[in-house]
Amino acid sequence: MPDNSRKKPSLSDSLQYIKGVGPKRALLLEKLDLNTVEDCLYFLPFRYEDRTEVRKISALVPGERVTFTGEIVHAGTARLGHRKKIFEVVIKDETGMIRAKWFQFREPYMMEKFPIGARFVFSGKPEFNRYQGTGLEVTHPDTERITGDELDMQELGRIIPVYHTTEGLHLNSLRTILKNVIDGYADLENEILPEEVVRRHQFPSRPEAIRMVHTPSSDLPVKDLDRFRTAAQKRIIFEELFLIQLGLAFKRKHTHHLVQGKVFKTRGPLIAKFMKLLEFELTGAQKRILAEIMDDLEQGQPMNRLIQGDVGSGKTVVALISLLTAIENQSQAALMVPTEILAEQHFLNIEPYCRKLGISIELVTSALSPKDKKSIQQKIMEGKVEIVVGTHALIQKTVQFHNLGLAVIDEQHRFGVLQREAIGKKGTHPHILIMTATPIPRSLALTLYGEMDVSLLDEFPPGRQPIVTKLFYENKREQAYAVLRKEANKGRQAYVVCPLIEESETLDLKTAMEVQDYLQNQLFPDLTIRLIHGKMKKEERQQIMSEFKEGNIHILVATTVIEVGIDVKNATLMIIEHAERFGLSQLHQLRGRVGRGEHASQCLLIGYPPFSEDGKARLEAIVKSNDGFMIAEEDLKIRGPGDFMGTRQSGMPILRVANLVRDIKILEAARKEAFSLIDHDPRLEDPKHQTLKQTMHHYLGNKLDLLNII
């Protein structure tokens, strides 16, 4: 056994041996992604409490974040509506009473946590409950149990950091652990920023900044701390963004012209023949972006282009023309999408054109029988298949292309970066075209797409109707379905989408089946109503979609499998049950399934209060705007960049501190400094930049190799 007591302190030290941790707490800290001392130093408070003032309950002001104390006089579950249960506690002090509520909870844990008679510190934003009329309440407050007769005197008169924690690890315990780490290790942090950058931005030193963010001075305004606008917070945010931008600058400087790609001839007779098959004229935006793509394909380097286009802007046609260009150059082409249903829809949309043009096309998904899979794989390897449409099954080792020249990746944010890289390795530096209907806000584009050319498909095909979006509370649900009856009477069709509940496909399916039964047997016995979901066999799904397209099904009840790729012009109504459970971009994608023809369309959201703050913000944003970019900005504000890009799959380092919405100005300053530094010292060979260079490689790891295919 090594003698850890004599070991020289290091930022890579395991947390297990820190005072107050031990093996059991180390496992709890792991859940917070805290494994080493350095992880703790950069695990910053997400907000701060002003414990210089603790309010009485009678002095609480609705809408104002406050700290108060009280005794638990009641704790237990209550039911809201037909399904939803909440956990509720009633708190009293000598001046009054208030309720606290939680929507997400485990009842045994909460009953143990809030015993009757226990005293707590609560921090949150009290509001009046207008929906139930039950007076002042606070939703999902931060809580801290008072173990003695009085609050810890060390906590009073100070600004207290509040950290995200996990079940089984109390906030007080976490604060103590972090304080021990900071006291023992903060001084080990070496300066990495160039002297002139520190001076120019008037930053504190690295160790000083770390201390200041964890133990702020009591004379700092809490509002500035909560907005991450103090000098210490800005320093740490800048440093994180600077390292990413330095990696992008380094990559661009040294690898931009090294890789040779296939030179394609473009705008040939096959494309002209395809254009004659189209029943519509391309929009100006489609023509502009196709010109950019064709210019890329004519160069000596592999194309690496991202197309951002809102729902219904016509990305599929652009993709198909690109695929056909590869075929015309005696190369194979692949279209990779995230789900089987989307792959099936793309295949069904593209196959008729391929048949008329004499082009061989195959669909590859994991649902294929072993016999069919082997047969198709053999044909792909021999070059007998020209266009391959598929899911991530395309990147399996058993799929070998004869001559892959172009890969189109649709809805890229749903793929991990390694999956996107894998399709690029199926050929000899094939051209890569990435498409997304989730617009990338400017701040994310600056961080993620330093190596990509970005095209914006910002024009809709003529005749597209704006979609009216309305929110109905649970008690007005019948009014929403009355709109459906009106649309059905006009001969229109509708979608009714049910949520994914608690990450369980079983519950998801059960909910959708209950809704179908309710609609068919109680509301619309005269209409044809069918259910579609991801557990169905491919043939059954395709049959239902075919019947819906032909107008033989009036209402399609669905799980979120219809989020993308479905195009039925006669469908004019989208009803989303439990809309508060959906992500913002998901709501926008679902809304985009209607409004595809000449008829006016609506999206009706049925919400089941009470809503979390995030849920409320999502519903307000989707009702307010049809603009995909505005929706994306709001989504980024609510969720943060990691989740926005597909949790931890974006290929970028996980941002520990920076927020790409809040910190856009710091990002731009960091980008300017990083690119300027690489211009002056392209390989960071100056002795004074060695620590910075090592830190950049440590922070980015192998992502430097991946940044150009994100």
Side-chain-facing half-sphere of 197: CA atoms under 13 Å: 24
Give the count of domains, the chain. Answer: 3
Give CA angle at 201 (198, 204), nearest 5°. 55
- Show the tokens assigned to 203: 């930053």
Q: Which of 288-292, 294-298, 663-667, 697-701 has the lowest mean pLDDT?
A: 697-701
Q: What is the mean pLDDT of residues 345-353?
A: 89
Percentage of the residues of the chain whose pLDDT score is greater than 90: 45
Distances (CA, A) of 527 to 64, 124, 484, 540, 566: 50, 48, 11, 20, 21
Question: Residues 421, 487: one domain?
Answer: no
Query: Exposed (0-12), middle (13-18) or buried (19+): which is 192, by Cβ within 10 Å?
Result: buried
Q: What is the band of 131 on the pLDDT scale with cuts at 50, 70, 90?
A: low
Predicted confidence at residue 565, as pLDDT, reads 55
Question: Residues 452, 473: one domain?
Answer: no
Residue 207 lies in a domain: no
Predicted confidence at residue 562, as pLDDT, reads 66
Q: What is the mean pLDDT of residues 199-222?
A: 93
Of 457, 487, 510, the residue that ends a domain is 457
Residue 393 lies in a domain: yes
Residue 602 lies in a domain: yes
Kind of pairing between the strands at 571-577 and 529-532: unpaired
Q: What SS3 state is found at 628?
A: helix
Q: Which of 266-275, 446-455, 531-540, 546-555 has the lowest mean pLDDT?
A: 446-455
Predicted confidence at residue 537, as pLDDT, reads 82
**CA atoms of 204 and 235, how far apart (whole Å):** 7
Higher pLDDT, 513 or 505: 513
Predicted confidence at residue 681, as pLDDT, reads 94
142-145 β-sheet, strand order: 127-128, 136-139, 96-102, 84-93, 66-80, 119-124, 142-145
Kind of pairing between the strands at 431-436 and 404-410: parallel
Question: Residues 480, 597: one domain?
Answer: yes
Question: Residues 610, 493: one domain?
Answer: yes
Measured in degrees and rounded to the nearest 5, phi and psi for residue 191 equal -70, 130
Question: Residues 99, 72: one domain?
Answer: yes
Higher pLDDT, 563 or 632: 632
pTM, entire model: 0.61
- Show the tokens assigned to 338: 């995230």
Best mean pLDDT range from 14-18, 55-59, 480-484: 480-484
Predicted confidence at residue 277, as pLDDT, reads 93
Q: Is the pLDDT of residue 613 over 90?
A: no
Question: Residues 372, 279: one domain?
Answer: yes
Question: Residues 392, 523: one domain?
Answer: no
Best mean pLDDT range from 61-70, 196-205, 293-302: 196-205
Predicted confidence at residue 481, as pLDDT, reads 95
Q: What is the mean pLDDT of residues 127-147?
A: 77
Residue 201 lies in a domain: no
Question: Residues 402, 453: one domain?
Answer: yes
Predicted confidence at residue 649, as pLDDT, reads 40
Residue whose C-alpha is closest to residue 674's, from 709, 700, 647: 700
Q: Is the pLDDT of residue 70 over 50?
A: yes
Higher pLDDT, 597 or 3: 597
Q: Is the pLDDT of residue 503 over 50?
A: no
Query: For 452-470, what is each residue's pLDDT tens digit?
Result: 677 888 787 776 778 999 9
- Show the tokens assigned to 563: 């989020």
Predicted confidence at residue 55, as pLDDT, reads 87
Here the CATH number for the domain that contains residue 383 is: 3.40.50.300
Q: What SS3 state is found at 405?
A: strand
Predicted confidence at residue 177, as pLDDT, reads 93
Within 10 angstroms of residue 639's Cβ, the number of other Cβ atoms is: 17
Give CA angle at 426 (421, 428), nearest 5°. 100
For residue 434, give its domain range: 269-457
Predicted confidence at residue 650, as pLDDT, reads 44
Query: For 428-442, what is each residue's pLDDT tens digit?
Result: 789 989 888 766 666
Q: Which of 141-155, 201-215, 229-243, 274-288 has the lowest mean pLDDT?
A: 141-155
Residue 419 lies in a domain: yes
Predicted confidence at residue 563, as pLDDT, reads 53
Question: Residues 402, 485: one domain?
Answer: no
Q: Is the pLDDT of residue 596 over 70?
A: yes
Site of tokens 């994306």: 632
Higher pLDDT, 655 or 445: 655
Residue 120 lies in a domain: yes
Q: Which of 360-374, 502-516, 559-573, 588-602 has the lowest mean pLDDT?
A: 502-516
Q: What SS3 state is found at 651?
A: coil
Best mean pLDDT range from 19-28, 426-435, 639-648: 19-28
Residue 233 lies in a domain: no
Residue 439 lies in a domain: yes
Of 557, 590, 625, the residue that ends a domain is 625
Percentage of the residues of the chain whose pLDDT score is greater than 70: 86
Predicted confidence at residue 703, as pLDDT, reads 61
Q: Is the pLDDT of residue 147 over 60?
A: yes
Question: Residues 433, 578: one domain?
Answer: no
Question: Residues 305, 442: one domain?
Answer: yes
Question: Residues 100, 59: one domain?
Answer: yes
- Show the tokens assigned to 370: 């072993």
Higher pLDDT, 503 or 588: 588
**Average pLDDT score, the chain:** 84
Predicted confidence at residue 289, as pLDDT, reads 94
Query: Exposed (0-12), middle (13-18) or buried (19+): which is 512, by Cβ within 10 Å?
Result: buried
Q: What is the band of 201 on the pLDDT scale with cuts at 50, 70, 90?
A: very high
Query: Exposed (0-12), middle (13-18) or buried (19+): which is 42, by Cβ within 10 Å?
Result: middle
**DSSP secondary structure letters along 329-382:** TT-EEEEE-SSHHHHHHHHHHHHHHHHHHT--EEEE-TTS-HHHHHHHHHHHHT
Of 564, 592, 625, the residue that ends a domain is 625
**CA atoms of 220 and 317, how far apart (whole Å):** 56
Higher pLDDT, 361 or 85: 361
Kind of pairing between the strands at 571-577 and 601-607: parallel
Query: For 360-378, what is each residue's pLDDT tens digit?
Result: 999 998 878 889 999 999 9
